[in-house]
Every structure is written in structure tokens, then in C-alpha cells.
Amino acid sequence: MIPLHTDPVPVTAEAVVVGAGINGLATAYELARRGMRDIVVLEKNYLGSGSTGRCGGGIRQQWTTEENIRLASESVRIYENMSAELGYQVFFRQGGYLMITEQEEDLPALREAVALQNRCGVPTRFLAPRDCLDIVPDLDISDLKGATFCPKDGTAYPFAVVWGYARACHRLGVRIFIRTALTGIEADDGRIRGVRTDRGDIATPRLVNCAGPWARSLAAMVGVDLPNRQERHEIMVSESLKPFLDPMVISITNGIYFSQSMRGEIVGGIGDPAEPRWERPEQFGFHSGLRFAVRFARELTRLYPRAANVRMMRQWAGAYDVTPDHRPILGGVPGLEGYYHSCGFSGHGFMLGPMVGRRMAAHIATGAADPIIDSLSLERFASGDLQADAFVVG
């Protein structure tokens, strides 16, 4: 068992990381690996209680901007060795991602994306509809126009990743406080001085905002205005079945995605264009509804008729922390030394988290510039230099 603290917090820390999802824990772990001491992680609820524990566990490198492709492929390399590195089985499996479309007009963009991914070293290939049957024999290809496939994409079990990082953090001396909320931030003379929590105050020169869907409210405490909005997304898991589906299948036409976990369950979701965007998750809540179950079942059985007899066991909802260009917001802000954020993952923070944590930790610990963090800074929105990522699915 990892000791998870609920007692009073220490009076000082070298760094306070807010949020025990994949990003907060990966950043804390990587900071500790670099030799930083007295790192505190604050989690207002339980480990993985934010988006991480609600996600589909999908890990793909098929993106249309170079930053996302590089962050994802570097993260895949970490995932490939993660169970050994963290000393915890995270159930990472590279069954690939089959990305399908039913629209002819998507084909040029898919071909361009394959070329860019190949230039970044990702072995994606373009497929005609009939070739998809070699990968998913029971797929109904009647309406398909084309697809791309990367055999090195995969899935991992989100809670195991969180628990693995938490244990590794603990071994390196990081103290994780659950049921402990950050309630205020002290800053003066343009620098972070400390934080207030519901279990006491901590003096610290560094605050890392990994609060996921709550990152925007947290940033507002120090006058940082994030453009992030929150979108409700539902997902479901079926009964466990013998293995029959290797890759994650995702459709860029209607946003459905489904895969089979190593425990045999079908895990899948579908985006809902009727869902509005909100400022805070509290405005919509994490309830789940029949509309999702019906939409998902209808689409799943249309594309994959074999799933008709599979029983849904459970469904739940979470939030996508969405930015205007669907890419994360990383780094600090000018004029506020010691403040950093790592948020706005727009529905793909589980696949980017390991490498984002590693790069953020190097940047925080050494102050060295990082080209990817720089290009994903908050300032890009003021300059209007936006390059949106296509194919955001879910």
C-alpha cells in the first residue's frame, strides 16, 4: 500500500503539484527523478478521480500537428517500458489504431497526415476499405471510404498507470495528499510564494497546475486567464469476452471509438454534438444518460455487427478540457515566476501525459527552454498563431 496522506500538509515544499491524474503524477515523478526534494501533490478527491480515471486508455500517434505526433510517439516509448520502469503492471498493449472515415473528402487529409507521421518516424499506413478486414475481419466496410492504421498505437489501463506513478513517486519521496484541496494561491512581486489548502498552508516557490478540468479556475486565482472550456463525454464498458478485437477502432466521421481491453471488455464511447461547452464541470456534472447508451449501441452495431450480443455493464461520464486549437497548454506565464500549467489536453491527455510530464519536469527543474513547450504556451492564443489539430475524436 502507498501511504496517501490526509493529515496536515507540510509548511514548506520545493514544489506543489495540483492534481493526481496522469499529468500531475507524471510531472511529480519526473521532478523527483531529477533530484528535486520535498515535492507535494495535492488531490482534492482520490487518485485518478478526474478525467484520467474516466478515460478510454487509448494511446495513438496519429495526429496532424508535429507537436502532438512527437509528444505521442515519445510517450509510446515510455509506455513500452512503463510496467518495468514503475514496477507496476499497467496493461499496455499495442494492438494498433484503425482510424476510419465514411467521407471521401477526408481522404486527402488522411494521406497528408500519414506522410507527416511517417516523417516523424511513426509507421502509419493508408488503407483501402477492404484492407481493413485484414485488421478487423468483422468490420462492416460497406460505407467506408478509407482508413489509416498504426500498429504501434495501443491502450493501457488508466487506473494502473495512476497507481504505478503514485507508487514510483512515493519511492522517490514525493508526498501525495488525497482529499486535500488547494483553496488559494499566494503570489507577490511577480512570483509564487505559497498555497492555501483545506489542511493548512504551504510556502513554496513553485506551483504546477495539473488540475485537468479545474485548471482554468485554479489559474484564475492568480489572474491567469485560460481559454479552456469543458465538454461532457460519456464512455461505457461491456462484460468480459475472449479476445477477438486487436486494435482500437475510431471513426473520424462520427466520433465513435472502441477497443477490447486486456481484461476482455469492450471499452468505447462516442462524442455528442449536442453537448455544450462549459466553464466548470460542476455546471454539468458527471451523470450518465440513456441517450449515450442508445447512440453508442446503434453506431457500434452498425459498424461492427458482431457486437450486437455484447452486454454493456457500466457507463460513466467525464470532462474533456478543450482549448481553441485542441492542443494542450504547457509551460508558465511571463511575469509570474514559479507558476506552471499543463492542461487543455482536449481529450487526449492520457496518451501525451508521460512525455509531457518528462518535458515539463526538465523545464521546471532547469529553466531550460523546450521547443515543444514553447510552441504550446498560452501566448499562442494572443498572437493568433493557431494550428488546430484535426481528428479529435470521442
Give the footprint of ligand FAD on this chain (CB under 6 A): 18-24, 42-45, 49-52, 54-58, 181-182, 210-214, 218, 233, 235, 269, 318-320, 343, 345, 347-351, 394
C-beta of 56 vs 255, nearer to ligand FAD = 56
CA distance 83 to 201: 35
CA distance 260 to 95: 9
CA distance 368 to 205: 17
C-beta of 13 vs 42, nearer to ligand FAD = 42
Element (H, E) at 230: strand 229-240
Contact 353, 75 (CB under 8 A): yes
Contact 256, 99 (CB under 8 A): no
C-beta of 110 vs 352, nearer to ligand FAD = 352
CA distance 356 to 346: 14
CA distance 33 to 391: 34
Other beta carbons within 10 Å of 234: 24
C-beta of 21 vs 338, nearer to ligand FAD = 21
CB of 103 to ligand FAD, least distance (A): 22
C-beta of 256 vs 319, nearer to ligand FAD = 319
CB of 284 to ligand FAD, least distance (A): 12
CB of 198 to ligand FAD, least distance (A): 9
Q: What is the dihedral of CA 153, 158, 163, 168, to 10 degrees?
A: 30
Other beta carbons within 10 Å of 115: 11
Q: Find, among 282, 359, 338, the residue nearest to 50 by Cα.
A: 282
C-beta of 139 vs 351, nearer to ligand FAD = 351
CB of 376 to ligand FAD, least distance (A): 14
Phi, then psi, of 156 in degrees rounded to 5: -140, 165
Instruction: Say which DSSP state 105 is in.
Output: G
Instruction: State the angle between helix axes of 66-80 and 349-366 in degrees (0 to 180), rounded to the nearest 10.
Output: 90
- CB half-sphere exposure, 390, CA atoms < 13 A: 14
CB of 267 to ligand FAD, least distance (A): 8
Q: Find, among 99, 110, 154, the residue nearest to 132 by Cα.
A: 99
C-beta of 33 vs 145, nearer to ligand FAD = 33
- β-partners of residue 219 are none
CB of 171 to ligand FAD, least distance (A): 20
CB of 348 to ligand FAD, least distance (A): 4
Cα angle 247, 152, 73; round to 5: 125
CB of 73 to ligand FAD, least distance (A): 13
CB of 357 to ligand FAD, least distance (A): 9
Instruction: Say which DSSP state 102 is in.
Output: S
